[in-house]
Amino acid sequence: GWMLLAIAVSIFVPKNSKLLWFLRAHFNRNKDSKTESGKYASYCANALEKCVVNGARSAKPSRMEVLSILLKNPHHHSLPHAVPVHMLNGTYHVVGFDGSTTISEFLQTLNLDIGCRGIELSGFTIFSDDPIEKNMDHCLSQKDKVCDVISRWETALREKGSGKFENKRVIRFTYKNRMFWRRSTPGETEKERLLFCYQISHQIVEGRFPLNKELAFELSALMAQIDIGDLTTDKGRCSSAGSNILSEALDKFYPVRYQESASQEEKDLLELSLAEKWRGLAGKSVTDCVRILLTCTRKWQFFGATLFEVQANSDSKEIWLAINEDGVSLLDHTTMQVSERYPYPSIVTFGGCQEDFM
């Protein structure tokens, strides 16, 4: 009974004031730090009050939420649930939350833990993966509840499997930049700058950043120095596991389009060129490399913009749709030169989702 109440009190607020008064009185009467049921009552009392403040939920409890309550007494933890939030540099940070925690509160906790500013200054926020489409992320609404997001994700996954649930799959939260504001650059933290480097590096690898092969080597070497450190003689050789550091760095940081049709001999030459640039950075600190990379990449007018690969209605030609703080721009798919520019005041209507342009 107490387990059921522990789940229910975070889902909806009783509309009847008498029932709300009764629940409060019941929880307060049964609070006891020495018994299991008393601990559940204490948790339920706190969870009910937070639900009253943050409002009712919009989705049913997720499998993860139910298991978390069933497997451990929530009173034993300051927050009953926890999930990892993945960073673009390959690390992750575990963040706790309860049934009423909003994405905004979840993000504030994460920012405080890792040393980043709020979304209104840094532009960094939480994304979730899509349960069906690969390589697709969804920016989460700040007003949404974390548990509702997880519940909807699990429901979509279950519907995809015709009612069967994939136990091995769980929602993946990612922390990355959604919108870059030039005015906020002076107050950047070291963590923000580092994560921005990895985000720009991902864009470079995917061909969403204009650069020639020579500049690509320079930036790839900087990212390798940031990610791995100095390239020593033993790092350039094959390790006991059979992996080649240079080959891995090339695959991870060098644009795919410059490698796609390369023969093995040409790839060996690419690795030698990367090694030369990389060794030239020996002794450079992560902070120095981050500063150099950002100074270079920020010269592009669309630095920090989000690029979408789209087709023009007129000739079905592939182009880039660039969204940044100034407006919407159309870029040539090959040269990435601007063909059209539309400031936000000139946009009268849009095919947005749920009346939200972003």
Q: CB 284: neighbour CB atoms within 10 A?
A: 17
C-beta separation of 47 from 6 below 8 A: yes
Residue tagged 């990449």 (tokens): 297
Average pLDDT over residues 186-206: 95
Q: 239 falls in which pLDDT band (50, 70, 90)?
A: very low
Q: 254 falls in which pLDDT band (50, 70, 90)?
A: very high
As a three-state string, the secondary structure of the chain is CHHHHHHHCCCCCCCCHHHHHHHHHHHHHHCCCCCHHHHHHHHHHHHHHHHHHHCCCCCCCCHHHHHHHHHCCHHHCCCCEEEEEEECCCCEEEEEECCCCEHHHHHHHHHHHHCCCCHHHHCEEEEEECCCCCCCEEECCCCCEHHHHHHHHHHHHHHHCCCCCCCCCCCCEEEEECCCCHHHHHHCCHHHHHHHHHHHHHHHHCCCCCCCHHHHHHHHHHHHHHHCCCCCHHHHCECCCCCEHHHHHHHHHCCHHHCCCCCHHHHHHHHHHHHHHHHCCCCCCHHHHHHHHHHHHCCCCCCCCEEEEEECCCCCCEEEEEEECCEEEEEECCCCCEEEEEEHHHCCCCCCECCECC
Q: How far is 99 from 81, CA to CA, in rounded Å?
A: 8
Mean pLDDT of the chain: 88
C-beta separation of 200 from 111 below 8 A: no
pLDDT for 357: 58
pTM of the full structure: 0.86
Q: 169 falls in which pLDDT band (50, 70, 90)?
A: confident
Check whether 240 has a pLDDT greater than 70. no
Whole-Å CA distances, 197 to 91, 193, 220, 293: 14, 6, 11, 7
Q: How far is 248 from 245, CA to CA, in rounded Å?
A: 5
Pick from 26-35, 91-100, 335-344: least confident? 26-35
Check whether 227 has a pLDDT greater than 50. yes
pLDDT for 237: 47
The tokens describing 251, both together, are: 């695959």
Check whether 242 has a pLDDT greater than 80. no
Pick from 57-61, 76-80, 84-88: least confident? 76-80
**pLDDT (tens digit, 9 = 90+) per residue, 264-291?**
888 889 999 999 999 999 999 999 999 9
Residue with more model confidence, 158 or 225: 225
In this structure, the strands spanning 81-87 and 338-343 are unpaired
Check whether 121 has a pLDDT greater than 90. yes
Q: 307 falls in which pLDDT band (50, 70, 90)?
A: very high
In this structure, the strands spanning 318-324 and 327-332 are antiparallel
Check whether 180 has a pLDDT greater than 50. yes
C-beta separation of 220 from 254 below 8 A: yes
